Amino acid sequence: MERNELLGVKGVGPVTLEKLNYLGIYSRRGIVEKTPVDYIDLDAVSDLDEAEDGQFVVLVTEITSASKPFRKGKLQMYRVTGATDDGKKVKLVWYNANYVASVVCAGAKVRVYGKLRKEGRTFELINPAYEKADALGEGELRGIKPVYATRGVIPQKTFSAMVADVIAKGFDARGLADGEKGLMNLGEAFVKAHFPLSLSEAKEARERIELEKLLKDILAYRTVRRESRRAIYYEAHPAVIDKVTDALPYRLTQSQKAAVNDILDRMQSDKPLNAMLVGDVGSGKTVVAMIAAYYAAASGHQAAVMAPTEILAVQHYRTFEKFLAPLGVKIVLLTGGCGAAEKRVARSAVSSGYADIVIGTHAVISKGVDFRSLALVVIDEQHRFGVAQRTALVDKGGAVDTLTLSATPIPRSLRLTVFGDVDVMSIDRRYSADNVSTAVVTPAKRKGMTDYIVEECLKGKQAYVVAPKIFDAEGIEGFAAEKLYKELCSQYGDKVTIGLLHGRMKAQEKQKVLNGFAEGKVSVLVSTTVIEVGIDVPNASMMAIFDADRFGLSTLHQLRGRIGRDGSKAYCFLYTTRSGDDIVRLETLVRERDGLEIAEKDLEMRGAGEWLGEEQSGKGGASLSLALMRKAKDIADRTDVTPFKNELTAYALARGFVKISLN
């Protein structure tokens, strides 16, 4: 089994194996395919004036004073003070590491690396890595240090050692583009990406790896696309959908009607539907999908609706149940939050054909869920081509119709390059977004921003506070939701009720927090981008997005679509500690409200990663530019896939776009 091959990697036992699986790694090659998200040049000493609180820094300091190791409660502490070459005082503290005193002592000059605590002119590092400053060219604190997105479950040093072990013992490093003129082989690229001699070498290696991913995705998609033939036909007359539209409390917009007609026409054609429905938040994509699902059910078939989160799955279930149950449609919910008994009942309903529509996460079409007559799959999510998070549509009885819903408009230039054979439909927003004002906020105005949010909450308003990650992770800079939550509770918890929401929480915990926010019991909701889709609280009128520069413009546009949904005045604050081009890019959102214009601008400034779900940033980062995509397409056009047919088909299953739109 591929899962067990990881046990042969040095340092991997049963516990670490589960952690690797949690990170989506199931094979030796999977370890090396998890390339660094950033790099730190340990030869470059950090400037404390420019460094930010929470940033990882490299310092050279002469120890001016050192305490004797002492006990504080159950902890052993060792504390020293040092001075940098430009005269700044730095406090260094180690816990339960008295042996540090043999190297880091008064008069010694040391090189240290760790997370900076900065308050005004006070600088402190807790448990930093260290070595003598004269260890030129040697030691761990030299060269380029890779930083991995291990979500804090595996230490950086441990994961790097795993990578080294896999490379040393050998792995399947074959690449589809190996042998192309001017390109390094894939195996060489993996080595240079993980252990680069320079940042430029890291960038070149990562671009080669990204090229391979794009090429493989394109070839795999083309392979299964060519073989798709309709296996299921619909007997119901299209007019049957009038039963649904008549039950709605509003009329469909013209663009919704056009989308419904287009989808039904394609569902009745000879080739399977392979479409993406694009529309801003609030445009009514879910209703269009519900009508398509009803048409499948009315024809005696089944539909599966997949949502990216359990929260959104439950919301869809309630919407479908409200409008379709009175029409005799049987709907079941199947998510990880369902109990064992509920899952058994749901699976039985699906396999027997009792259930017309099943709604849940991607598990609804995984192994163990057997459909009697699956005809339509609706995928409601933000991730598209290139995302390795979807479950395979494994032998469910033929080439099903697939409709993907996306709130991120795809630029025309990107459509023509990669999505050329995917049907893309657009619907307009049901209401104007002119009531939402957006502002870029810098550190000097941070307190004023949070004070304003709290003041408005005291008047009955509600707010979202968004961070790019859940926890503080080793080597990864930036704001974390848990830390922001604790800070806000400490500063404002006596005035307003603050809640925390992220993907690592249990389903029941998440639902409890969401219910509290929806009912107005929680005034400020601190969250990750889990709120990006499906959260609808009309009273929420403010949003503060921390480290906004780390997000694509389209993602930010999607997030701000969560506020001002009742038409009242709303404010979106884009907080950033960066300057220059990052400010210019964010100011696009201050001026623009049209999703397509924002998407085009994002493609121009940021590259194509936003739409391919492969965002790269940081030092040595590979930009998923349109040029790289065109290069992959050019190679794909010249590649004979016959020798790779079985491998590419299996890969397409694993990626989740067999007979499903490449979205």
The string of pLDDT tens digits covering residues 288-322 is: 999 999 999 999 999 999 887 788 888 899 999 99
Contact 156, 129 (CB under 8 A): no
Confidence of residue 617 (pLDDT cuts 50, 70, 90): very low
Task: Mention every residue, 6+ apart, whose C-beta is less than 8 A from residue 588.
Answer: 553, 598, 601, 602, 605
Higher pLDDT, 437 or 426: 437
Beta partners for 124? Answer: 91, 117
Nearest to 209 by CA among 186, 230, 239, 229: 186
Residue pLDDT, tens place only, 175-191: 999 989 899 999 999 99
Distance from C-alpha of 610 to C-alpha of 74, rounded to nearest angstrom? 47
* Helix residue ranges, H only, 67-171: 156-169
Take residue 622 and report the two structure tokens written for it.
């590979």
Please give the distance of CA 47 from its chain centroid, rounded to a whole number.
31
pLDDT of amino acid 1? 39
Distance between CA atoms of residues 213 and 608, nearest Å: 13
Confidence band of 412 (pLDDT split at 50, 70, 90): low
Q: At 460, list the tokens.
A: 């009955």
- Of 138, 135, 132, the C-alpha closest to 112 is 132
Closest of 650, 655, 310 to residue 501, by C-alpha:
310
The answer to whether the predicted template modeling score (pTM) of the entire model surpasses 0.75 is no
Higher per-residue pLDDT: 301 or 554: 301
Max mean pLDDT among 318-332, 497-511, 631-645 falls in 318-332
Radius of gyration of the chain (CA): 27
Out of 60-69, 140-149, 194-203, 220-229, which region has the weakest mean confidence (pLDDT)? 220-229
Q: What is the amino acid identity at position 384? A: R
Joined together, the tokens standing for residue 327 give: 């029409």
Helix (H) or strand (E) holding 631: helix 626-637
DSSP per-residue codes, 459-488: TT-EEEEE-SBSS-BTTB-S-BHHHHHHHH
Domains of the chain: 1-37+143-171 (1.10.150), 43-137 (2.40.50.140), 238-429 (3.40.50.300), 436-592 (3.40.50.300)
Task: Give the model's pLDDT for residue 462.
Answer: 96
- In this structure, the number of other CB atoms found within 10 A of the CB of residue 73 comes to 6
Output the pLDDT for position 438: 96
Give the type of residue at 580: G
Angstrom distance (rounded) from CA 113 to CA 62? 14
